[in-house]
Amino acid sequence: MSETGNAVDPVRGTVSTAATHVAGAMTTLAVVDGRTPNAPGPDPLTVDSTVHPTEGFPVSRELLVTLFGDPFAVMNTVGLVAFALVGSTKAIREDFDLFGITIVGLAMAFAGGATRDVLVLRTPLALQSPIEIALGLFGVALAIALQVVLAAPDTHPITLVSDAIGLAAFATAGAIVATEAGVSAFGVVAIATINAVGGGAFADLLLDRAPFILFEDFYASCAVLGGLTYVVAGAVGVVGSTAAALCAAVTVATRLAAVTYGWELPTAGEIEPPTR
């Protein structure tokens, strides 16, 4: 997220610990059976409700499939909640009202995915399912709750880790969709990156500032590396859940490392000519 450099020292230990847990969690995606994001889901007329064996209340199979039915669904769910939270904390920092907070949060959650869907010629998922909007609103509510209990939620490790997770989730979701659309290897990396950083760039425009990915921090580069990982994995025969897990793990690990160690790409002015 923007201006993370000032928060490097206070959160170094917490982010490093979180990185270990997040990277381990990403590998569990390898056990998810891969259903392509464009594959038909269950017929809504035949889906019934089942009772969870431990909780004892009805759980919609259709809802569970939508949220966690395949690698794309998992990444999309995680990314929407995480980025809605991060976008909302940006608006809270700028003292927006509740409506403004909601708009910026939803914009960060949906703008990248909507751009991705337009590029592959399909209707944006946000316009197809109310569940998508509900997930975004849940992320906004989490951000508002954090503001109540935390002094600086935008620089708190919870927000920094959420931002890294959202970046990884959306980079992976973009790579999956692009691969299913049959675009080139460059197209897979490009769409993965757009999916990952497009929402944040649009949120920055709503906040009346230049998108921070263009001039500071090591952020979009993490999504590029994740997209490249997905492409390379596919080229060597690693597909489905395993490729998704690798893409997400590389993206989140490099982003958390960048936050912890203060990585930044150099500007042109910082490049010195070779000495003779």
268 within a domain of the structure (yes/no) = no
CB 108 within 8 A of CB 202: yes
> Is 47 part of a structural domain of the chain?
no
Residue 13's domain spans which residues? 8-32+61-261
| Per-residue CA distances from 96 to 16, 35, 89, 211 (Å) | 31, 40, 10, 18
Q: Considering the domain boundaries, does residue 55 fall inside one? A: no
The pLDDT, as a whole number, for residue 29 is 44
Q: How far apart are CA 45 and CA 58, in angstroms?
A: 17
What pLDDT was estimated at residue 215?
83
Does residue 38 belong to any structural domain of this protein?
no
Q: How many domains does the chain have?
A: 1
The one-digit pLDDT tens for each residue of the chain (276 residues) are 444 444 445 445 544 554 454 444 444 444 344 444 444 444 433 444 444 443 444 557 767 766 777 788 889 999 999 999 999 999 999 999 999 999 999 999 999 999 999 999 999 998 998 999 999 999 999 999 999 888 778 788 989 999 999 999 999 999 999 999 999 999 999 999 999 999 999 999 999 999 988 887 799 999 999 999 999 999 999 989 999 999 999 999 999 999 999 998 888 888 888 776
Assigned domain for 52 exists: no
The answer to the question of residue 40 being in a domain is no
From CA 10, how far away is CA 128, in angstroms rounded? 42
- For 120, other C-beta atoms within 10 Å of its C-beta total 17
In a domain, 267, yes or no: no
